[in-house]
Amino acid sequence: MSGFQVEVCDLHKRYMTAPDQYLDALAGVSLTAPEASVGAVMGPSGSGKSTLLHLIGAMDAADSGSIRVGDIDVTALSRREQTAYRRRIGFVFQRFHLLAALTVADNVSAPVLPHRTTFDKHQRALELLAAVGLEGREQSLPSRLSGGQQQRVAIARALINQPGLLLADEPTGNLDSHTGIDIIDLLVRLRDEHGMTVLIATHDSAVASRCDYMIQLLDGEIEAQAPTT
Ligand code: ADP
């Protein structure tokens, strides 16, 4: 697995909030996420963090501007190509979105179950669960796990397709601060081992300080991009 470089140029996204009323969620955002870097997208609630990640993940369409992920021009993809693209990246959310009726191992392999793969799905799920520290919990139901453990399952699931880019939207938002830091340290270690690029939306400066660099968003504009060292 190798990481994608992400190149965002002059990205605009406007929402209609009432008839004749618009809100610029992103008002000309440009950024570069180097290959295999872990970046924090910071900013207060409503500053545009989720919108930015959704556009990079092709879960929503930009009004103008461009997004390049590796050699893919995300803003030029057809619907069918968007679906294929989304399979090449991983998503982690604040709410873990695990399927309550499935075991932990089946949750991890769920995204690839409908597809033919070159790898053994169950075996890959077990390997990923070991990598996130959940060996022995493979047959548990998600409800038997703590919040931090459930987020680890969600991270393993996000990695099932060996993505070149992992997008995490407030991944520590439902966790206490100590557990949240453990989750970020896990993401950094997985990046060290697998080399994927990671972008984490967060309003928590303790989370951002564990990343390689941070981008500060305010009212849909970038205020600063700086290393965290
Ligand atoms: P953040 O993730 O930093 O909290 P968001 O990207 O979720 O910020 O939102 C940026 C702004 O866009 C906010 O003012 C939010 O209310 C608005 N917004 C987000 N999604 C929609 C939508 N679907 N319709 C209208 N406004 C939206």
Q: Tell me: the pLDDT tens digits for 86-127?
A: 999 999 999 989 999 999 999 999 999 888 888 899 999 999
What pLDDT sits at residue 224? 79
Task: For residue 202, give the 3-state DSSP assignment.
Answer: coil
- Ligand 1 pocket mutation pick from 23, 63, 200, 204 by most atoms within 8 angstroms of CB: 23
Residue 20 has pLDDT above 70, yes or no: yes
Residue nearest to atom 22 of ligand 1 (CA): 15
CB-ligand 1 contact for 28 (6 Å cutoff): no
What is the mean predicted confidence (pLDDT) over 44-65? 96
How far, in Å, from the CA of 152 to the mean position of ligand 1? 27
Strand stretches in the chain, DSSP E: 6-18, 21-33, 38-42, 64-69, 72-73, 89-92, 165-169, 197-201, 213-218, 221-227
- Ligand 1 pocket mutation pick from 16, 24, 50 by most atoms within 8 angstroms of CB: 50
- Select from 112, 109, 142 the least CA-distant residue to 126: 109
How far, in Å, from the CA of 105 to the mean position of ligand 1? 34
CB-ligand 1 contact for 47 (6 Å cutoff): yes
CB-ligand 1 contact for 94 (6 Å cutoff): no
CB-ligand 1 contact for 45 (6 Å cutoff): yes
What is the mean predicted confidence (pLDDT) over 5-25? 95
Residue 1 has pLDDT above 80, yes or no: no
Q: How far apart are the first and last CA of the chain?
A: 26
Residue 39 has pLDDT above 80, yes or no: yes
